[in-house]
Amino acid sequence: MCLHVSHSCRLCLAAFLVLALSFAPRGATLEVPSKEHPDIGRALSKAKKGDTVLVAKGVYRESFSVGSGITLLSKERFGARIDGGGAEKVITLVNNAALVGFDVSSGTIGVYSGGHGNRIIQCLVHGNTQTGIMCVGHLPTIEDNVVVYNEGSGIQGWDVRSTVSAVAHNTIAYNGNHGISLGGNSQLFLENNILAFNEKMGMKVEPQVKVTLRRNCFFGNTEIFESFPSDNFAFDPLFVAPRKMNFKLAKGSRCHNMGTDNQDLGARLGD
C-alpha cells in the first residue's frame, strides 16, 4: 500500500479507479462524503438498482447492507476503511450487489453474502472476530481480495453452488482457523489463490463438498492439507511485509506468473 502519493502511486490509483468503474452498472453516482450523503449508510438508503455509491478515502464507522443491484465502490483500493465497531455483520450484500476496493474490519463477520450474483472484488478484509467473508446459499465472485488476520476462517461457505462465479486470485493468510472452510452441499471452483500461514488447514471441506482446485499455493498452514491435485503448489509465497499489511510478493517469490492466466498467484496488488 502506498503511504506517500508519488507520481507512480497516482498512476496506480487512477488505474485502479478505471478498472473498478468497469464493475459498476450504468446509473446514478452518489458520492460520499457529500452534503447530500454524509455517510455510506445514508447514501445506500437513497441508492436504487443500477446506482453506484462512490466513497472517498477515510475511516467510516458504520455497518450496513448493500441493496440489490447497487455497486459500492472505493475511490482508492483499500482507501475507504469500514470499521464495524463490533457489529455482527459489517457489510451485508443482498442480490447482484458489488463491493469493490474497501478495507473492512472490526466486526464478527466482515462481509456476509446470502444472495445471488454478488461480487467482492479487491478488498482487504481483516481483524474480524470470526469470519472474514461468509457466503450462504450462493457463491459470489470473490476475486483479488486480501483476507488476513481474522480470528476465525478467512472465507467460509455453506451450501454455495455455482458454475459461473469463482474464488480466484485471493491472498488468504494468517487467519485463526482455516483459510477456507466449506460445508453443506457446496460446489465451486478455486484457482490462482494463495492460502498460507493459517492456524489450521489452508482449506477444509466436508465430505460432500465438490471443489475444483487449479493453480493454488498452499504453504505454512498449521494442519497440512495433503491431498490437493498435482497442478497446485506448496512453496513460500514470500510476502514483502505481512506484519505491516503488505502482501505483495517479493521479487524472488515463486508465485510470480504461475497462474492459469500467467499472472501472479494471490491478489494482484500491482507494483
57 to 75, 77, 83: CA distances (angstroms): 7, 9, 13
Residue 19: band (very low, low, confident or very high) from pLDDT cuts 50, 70, 90: low
171-203 residue pLDDT tens: 999 999 999 999 999 988 999 999 999 999 999
Q: What is the pLDDT of residue 161?
A: 81
Is 164 contained in some domain? Answer: yes
Q: What is the pLDDT of residue 228?
A: 78
Q: What is the pLDDT of residue 24?
A: 58
Is 263 contained in some domain? Answer: no
> Do the strands 246-249 and 239-241 form a parallel or antiparallel pair, or are they unpaired?
antiparallel
Question: Looking at the predicted structure, is the pLDDT value of residue 88 above 90?
Answer: yes
Could you tell me if 80 and 99 are in contact, meaning their C-beta atoms sit under 8 angstroms apart? no
Is 225 contained in some domain? Answer: yes
Is 58 contained in some domain? Answer: yes
Is 192 contained in some domain? Answer: yes
Is 74 contained in some domain? Answer: yes
Instruction: For 91-122, give one letter per residue: b (16+ CB within 10 A) or e.
Output: bbbbbbbbbbbbbbbbbbbbbbbbbebbbbbb
Q: What is the pLDDT of residue 252?
A: 97
The domain of 83 spans 7-249
Could you tell me if 52 and 24 are in contact, meaning their C-beta atoms sit under 8 angstroms apart? yes
Domains identified in the chain, total number = 1
What residues pair up with 109 in beta bridges, in sequence order? 89
Average pLDDT on 142-165 reads 92
Residue 223: band (very low, low, confident or very high) from pLDDT cuts 50, 70, 90: confident
Residue 238: band (very low, low, confident or very high) from pLDDT cuts 50, 70, 90: very high
Between residues 240 and 224, the one the model is more confident about: 240
Cell numbers standing for residue 185:
452441499
Q: Measuring CA to CA, which residue among 70, 72, 66, 74 is closest to residue 103?
A: 74
If you search the block for the grid coordinates 502482501, which residue do you land on?
A: 247
Phi first, then psi: give them for residue 19, nearest 5 degrees.
Answer: -65, -45
Phi first, then psi: give them for residue 100, nearest 5 degrees.
Answer: -130, 120
Could you tell me if 266 and 193 are in contact, meaning their C-beta atoms sit under 8 angstroms apart? yes
Strand, coil or helix: what is 87?
strand
Is 227 contained in some domain? Answer: yes
Is 2 contained in some domain? Answer: no
Report, in this order, helix, strand and coil percent for the chain, each rounded to 5: 10, 40, 55
Q: Is the pTM of this model over 0.85?
A: yes
